[in-house]
Each structure stands twice: as C-alpha cells, then as structure tokens.
Structure 1
Amino acid sequence: MAGRLEGKTALVTGASRGIGYQIAKQMAAEGAHVIALARTVGGLEELDDEIKSAGGSATLVPLDLTDMGGIDRLGGAIKQRWGKLDVLVANAGLLGVLSPIGHIEAKVFEKTMTVNVTSTWRLIRSVDPLLKAADAGRAIVMSSGAAHSAKAYWSLYAATKAACEAMVRSWANETMNTPLRVNAVNPGATRTRMRAEAMPGEDPKNLPTAREVAAKILPLAFDDVTETGKIFDVREGRFLSYRDPA
C-alpha cells in the first residue's frame, strides 16, 4: 500500500536528532524522499541507515544553518534534481541561553537569532518557488509556547519563535490563493536534548517522546490539509487561530 507521501520530496532541517530525526523517519515511511539537513554528520548517517533499512530513501545535507550561501545553493540544487519541493519542515533551532535579558551576551544573541530566525527566512526564500511548483506544497515551521508566554529569562528564545510565527502568518497570507499551505507548530514539552538543557531538574519520563510528537505533526504534510497561517498545538491536537489585532 502506498504511503500518504508517496512520490513526494520533503526537506527536514535539524534532522540528526530529536523531533526532526523522527519526522524525517516517518515521512520516509510514508513514501517521501527525505532531504535531511543538519550539522551532525553522524546523526544524519544513522538516520539514513534507518530509513534505508525500512525501504525508504534519503539525501543527506550536512550544513550549518549559519552558512547562508549554503542555504541559497540548496534551493538551486533541489530545483536542478527534482524541479520542486513538496514539503518543508523548518525544525532546526537553538535554545540560546536562559538569562535576564540584560545579561545576554551579544554573540549569543546574534547566533541564536541567526540560526532560529535569519536562516529560517533564508530557507523560506530559497525554497518558496519550489513549494509553489508542487501540486500541494506544505510548509511546517517549528515554534514554541515560549513565543506567547514570555516567561522571565526566556526572552531570547521567545523572541526568535515569535519572529518565526510572524513570518509564517505573513507568508501564509501571501500564498493564500495558491495550493501552498503554511503553518507553525507548537510541539509542547518533549523528551529532547534541548528540553533537558532548558529544564535539567525535570523527569524526562513524564514527557512524550520525540517519536510520539512527530507522529502528531506528520499529518500537516498531507494533501488534505486546508488550514494555513495557523499554529498547530500538539498537546491539544488541533489548529489554533491567531487573534487579529483590533
């Protein structure tokens, strides 16, 4: 039986571990050819082995998302080989530092903004024409509840995710009358390395695994998704609408 993504090509960033790794595996299991992007070659090779052992296929792209030229070239390479892109999962990101806003070092602020925001915009710019060339392009951009809670000491990470959500909303409005659907995702607390870094005293056994969370995000890549410009809350299992300003 053919999978829901049979014959499609999906680009997943941050694919060497965590939610990105699991989404890449699950998309390949649904028949997609996965373009797996990450800095860590070892994690990408492990992913490739798992995908191939399950009968799927992948192309590995070892790339640091601070390499803006590399992101630009990626779009050209995808166009040359496949002519289009069916699914984008912009998952890669940094926590940065949890700190009073006045204590954040400039180099930490700038690197976190570069990876979480600037590279996401650069990636969108690089693949936007390719997603529009697909019959039913789907873009999934990872966000966080931090974008809305604005907790003390979370200013840097929260600001990056709020910026990504703003880009998602504008991009969705620009493409409203096309087949492309663009949405953000709040995965909620998940058993990942980043979560352990942010909450070292938390018992990870009380959190859903990256595999479980990825399984709930996966349907956003399917052709029957009609929502756009919204945020999908994994814990609630539904799309939430943004409240427009008065």
Structure 2
Amino acid sequence: MVVPRRNVRPLPEGVPLEHFAMAEPASVAWHAVNRAGSVTGRRILVIGAGPIGLAIVAVLRLRGAGEIVVSDLFPRPLDTARRLGADRTTSPGEPGGEETNVDFDTTFECSGTPAGLSQAVEATRGGGDVVMVGNQRVGDVPFPAARAISKELRISGSWRFQNEFDEVVQALASGQLDLTPIITHIIDWSDYNRAFELASRPSESSKVLLAIGPRHQVDAK
C-alpha cells in the first residue's frame, strides 16, 4: 500500500497500537471541542455516547470542563462515559432528571437525531453554545428555530477535523488522553462479519477494532 508521505505519522515505541487506532475519532472530538471555544470551568452536556461522544467527554475532561453530563439511551456507554470523566449520566425520560438537565453553557449534539438536536436547544442556557457533531440525515430535519432565536444561542457545525491530528497523536503518546475504555472488542480481521455485527449494536459495543496480524483478544468492557 502506497500513501503520500504527508499522510504518515511515526509512532513512538512502547505504546500499544490500539491507543493510536483511536487517533481519528479523537481528532474529530478534539476539533468539535475547539469549535466550542474555551470549556474551562463550564457546565457541558454531551448528547449521544457513541465513540465520538465518548471521545468528546475525555477531551472535555482534559480541557478542564467544570461539569460534564452525558445523555444516552443505553446503560453500557453511559458507564464508559463515567470512566472517561463524566460527572453524571442520564437517559431521556429518566424520572426526576428533567429539571436538572437544563441551563448548560455548551451542548454537544452527537446522536445525529432530530430529537437530540431539539434536546440540545432546550437544554442550553440563553446565550450558550450548541455544537452539532452527529450527522443528521440528508435533507431537511425538524429544528426548533424559534426557540434557538429567542434564547440567542450560538449554533455551529463540526465536520471531521483539520490540523488537530498531530496534537492528538502527541496527547495519546504521552498518556494525557486515554481512549482505550471506548474499545470494547478487538477481533481478528478474518472474523469481520462478527465485528460489523457487534459494531451495529450500540447497547453492546462502542469501538470495535480489527486485528490484522497476530491475533489479539480483549474482554468486552
């Protein structure tokens, strides 16, 4: 396989390769947090605890966020969010939780659903920031524009990453950023059908890696 030299990064010895397998999703998360500006001391909501949402939690903790709350439908990714530094987790419709899930300084919408986007607008304080990270479906989607206008929200999109990749590799190499809790399975490449089946079930998996070469095995986390 031949690739342009500018796309290749040397990796330090002594760090397991699976740490760097997370460099691409970590760069997406790093870029999204950059889009929000300073998050130090701020009260943050992350909607959607898929691999990108979970990586955003880790980056927010590294950047000194004051409080991180994560919302998701499934218990397993919420447990992973707490391991990565979330202060509190919640599920939509959780009894007694609605009144405390408002007035966030910044909300990251990572579910890619209209319902998640509406929740983000409603949960963010007036004058706060909503960063849209999750990919909405192609075409028009419902959006509470009047509510966003009356609250004077700053709404921005975040698409992949730009120049953050080298910073992320350094953070992974130094141990400042550890995203291995997001890796739930490492499966031999020849069993790729099982890997894709697992990856399609967010209640059971987060990041599923294919091992090319000597067989690796980790327990589901």
Normalized per residue, the structure richer in strand is 2
Q: Which has the larger radius of gyration?
A: 2
Normalised by the shorter chain, which TM-score bucket?
0.3 to 0.5
TM-score by length of 1: 0.43
Normalized per residue, the structure richer in helix is 1
TM-score by length of 2: 0.47
